[in-house]
Structure 1
C-alpha cells in the first residue's frame, strides 16, 4: 500500500506514547510513515517503537516547568521537524503540546495538531494559573487544529477563551484512543482465576470490592476516597478497597493522614503499578473514580468494558461515559459525603448494582470501540 505522507506523533514521556496511544501508531503506520518522538526514559522509547513497529526519535522533555531544558527541547524538536519534513505533527500531553507546536510552527510544518486530554491548569490559582493560561493560549495559537477528547473539555476551552471554535473539534464520541473491547473482556477471566487472585490478596468471597486505578494524587480524589471508604468500612466489614497505581509525591502529594490510612488499614489493598489491570477489574464489584479533572479517562472505559458499574465525579469525560442510573452514578466533585452515599448504595442495593453492571459493557462497546476511534482519526488526517 502506498503511504499518504509522514506524521510525527509527540508525547512528553514514552509511557504516554505506548500507553495512551497503544496500537494506534501501528494502525496509522499502515497508511502513513509514522515517527514517534518522546523522552528516552531508560530505553522505554525504543521498546515502544518496537512494539508499535515505528521509527522513534528521542527528545528529552520534562513534565515540570523548566525554562532552560524546555528551550533546548524546542530546538531539538525544531531540528527533527526540519530534517524529517512531516506533513503533520500531532502532539499529546501538555508539555509535549507546547514544545512541539512552537517548534513545528517555526519549522513550517503545514498541519500542527494537538489533542487535549485534560487541563491540569484548572486546579492552579494565582500567578501560576495566569502563567499556565498564557502558555495554553500560546500553544493553541501555534497549532492549526485542537482536538479536545471530550465535549465537556471543548466547552471548557471555549469558556476560558483559549482559542476559537473554528480550531476545535471532538473526534468521534470522544477519547484519544478508544478501548479494545476484545482485550478488556470479563469473559477472559474464569471464576477460578478470580478466586485465586482474591485469595492471594486476602479478599474473602463475600467481600464487596471497590477498585481505583490511576495515580495516587490529590487531583484524583484519593483523599476523599480514603475518607469515604474508612467510614464505610467501619460500618460494613465485608468491604475492601483495591488501589492499583503509584504515588506522585513530588507533583501532587496526598494528605499525610491519607497515606497513613492506606498503609495501616488492612482492608485497603495497594498493589502498585500494574502493566495489566484487567485481573483487578475482574475481581472487583465497582469502580470508584472521584477525580477532580479529566480529559476522557481510559480507566472508566476499561472498567465499563470489564462489566463494572462506576462511581464518577461530575466532570467532563466522566459524565459523558457514565449515564446516571444506567451504567453508573455521578457525584459532585470533592464530596466525600456524596462518595460515601454512592458506595453504600452499590453495596446495599444489590438489584441496583446488578442493573448498572449489566449495561456497563454494552454501552462501552457501542460508543468507544477502539477501531471506530482510530478510523475517525484516520479520516481526519485524510481530510487535512
Structure 2
C-alpha cells in the first residue's frame, strides 16, 4: 500500500520524516516533539545513522509507533563521496516514504535532507539549527571548511519553508551572512525545552559539588572547567568537581591522556557517559557549562529544572539561560580566572546555590517547558 493510501478506509494520515545526525537524539532531544506530532495524528518516520546496528534503540522507536530508517551518514566526516552517498540515500528514502513534510536538524541532515526533500517535491520542508558546530569555530584550513558549510547551508535553506533557531544570535548570524534569505521565514524557539515532570526538583546536598555534562570537546569549555576545578580544589580540597560525558570523534575532542591526567590527580571525578543524567544533577549543587557557543544547552535546562544554580558563559545560546546574579553567573568565554571566581562565590556563601537554584526552576517553568516550546514549533509547521 502506498504511504498516501487511506488506512482502514479513513482519510490519509499526514506523514512527517524527521532526519537526525545522531540516532539517540531522536529520543533524548526530539522525543517530546515527535510524541506531540503523533498526538495530532501524524505518522512519523525517523532516519539517522546507526539504526542498523543499535537494535535496542530501533526497537524502542518502533514500539513508539515510529518507522525507523538507517541513514548512511558520517556525522563528522569530510568525504565528499560519502556525503553524496548520504544524499542519494535520502533521495531514495523520500521517494519510498513520500512524506508530506520533512524536519531535519544538525548540519548534514539539514543540508542534505532539505536538498533531497526539495528535489523529490516534498510539499513542506523545515530545518532546525541546534548550534553552529565545529566548522563555524575554525580559522585557516578550518576556515575553508567553514566557507563550504556556509555555501551549502545557503543552498539548502533557500529550499525550506521555515528555519527554526534556538537562540537569536544564531538567527542574526545566518541573516547577516545571507545563509537565510532576507525574505526567508524563521522562528526562534527556547531550545529543545525540558520535561518539567521528568526533571523534577531534587533537594541539594549540603556538601558543595560542581558538575559539567558534555561531549568532551574543547569548545564545550572542558579544559577551562578542569583548570578552574584544580584551582578551587587547591583552596577547598573537600569540594567535588564531577564530569559526565564521552570523548567524541570530533576533531576538537579532548585527548584521552588529558582526561586520564585530570582523574589521576584528583581534579575531576569522571562518571562516564550516562543514559540518565538526573542522578548526577541531583548530586551537584551548581551546574557549570563554560561552552564557547551553543544552540541552547539542553543540560543547562535540565539542571535548571531540577533546581540548580548555573555558571555558564556570556556566549550565544548560553547567555539566554542565565540572568547574571539571579539564577547563576555569566563568565567570559575561555576565562579560567572568571570561572574560578564564580565557583568560589558559591563556596563563600553556602546559601547562594539554594537561592539561585530556586530561581532556575522558576525560569525553566516560565520559559523552557518542553510543551510550550513544542507548541510554538507545531504552530509554525501548520499543525494545531
What is the TM-score with the length of structure 1 in the denominator?
Answer: 0.89
Counterpart residue number, 1:13 = 22
- Which structure features the higher share of helix residues? 1
Counterpart residue number, 1:123 = 137
Residues 211/254 of structure 1: CA separation in 2 closer, same or farther (3 Å cut): same
- In the alignment, structure 1 residue 140 sits paired with structure 2 residue 157: yes
Q: Following the alignment from structure 2 to structure 1, what is the Cα–Cα distance between the partners of residues 327 and 174?
A: 28
Counterpart residue number, 1:175 = 191
Residues 280/256 of structure 1: CA separation in 2 closer, same or farther (3 Å cut): closer
Q: Following the alignment from structure 1 to structure 2, what is the Cα–Cα distance between the partners of residues 322 and 250?
A: 28
User: Where does the alignment leave 5 or more consecutive residues of structure 1 unmatched?
Assistant: 195-204
- In the alignment, structure 1 residue 110 sits paired with structure 2 residue 113: no
Counterpart residue number, 2:85 = 72
User: Where does the alignment leave 5 or more consecutive residues of structure 2 unmatched?
Assistant: 1-9
Q: Following the alignment from structure 1 to structure 2, what is the Cα–Cα distance between the partners of residues 254 and 58?
A: 29
Q: Following the alignment from structure 1 to structure 2, what is the Cα–Cα distance between the partners of residues 215 and 73?
A: 25
Counterpart residue number, 1:365 = 365
Per-residue deviation at 1:284?
A: 0.5
8 Å Cα contact 1:26/1:53 also seen in 2: no
Q: Following the alignment from structure 1 to structure 2, what is the Cα–Cα distance between the partners of residues 318 and 146?
A: 20
Per-residue deviation at 1:290?
A: 0.2
Counterpart residue number, 1:201 = none
- In the alignment, structure 1 residue 82 sits paired with structure 2 residue 95: yes
Per-residue deviation at 1:283?
A: 1.2
Per-residue deviation at 1:162?
A: 1.3
Q: Following the alignment from structure 2 to structure 1, what is the Cα–Cα distance between the partners of residues 57 and 39?
A: 20
- In the alignment, structure 1 residue 28 sits paired with structure 2 residue 42: no
SS in 2 for 1:23: helix
**Aligned with residue 186 of structure 1, among 182, 201, 205:** 201
Per-residue deviation at 1:207?
A: 3.6
29-38 or 351-360: which moved more?
A: 351-360
Q: Deviations over 1:47-69 (max 9, x none)?
A: 34235321112221111222112
Per-residue deviation at 1:110?
A: 2.0
Residues 165/16 of structure 1: CA separation in 2 closer, same or farther (3 Å cut): farther
What is the TM-score with the length of structure 2 in the denominator?
Answer: 0.89
* Root-mean-square deviation (Å): 2.2
Alignment of 1:229-308 (within 5 A): 229-248=229-248, 251-254=251-254, 258-308=258-308
8 Å Cα contact 2:126/2:163 also seen in 1: yes
Counterpart residue number, 1:43 = 55
Residues 24/370 of structure 1: CA separation in 2 closer, same or farther (3 Å cut): same
Q: Deviations over 1:338-370 (max 9, x none)?
A: 111111112212243332122111110111111
Q: Following the alignment from structure 1 to structure 2, what is the Cα–Cα distance between the partners of residues 377 and 180?
A: 16
Per-residue deviation at 1:314?
A: 1.1
8 Å Cα contact 1:233/1:239 also seen in 2: yes
SS in 2 for 1:318: coil
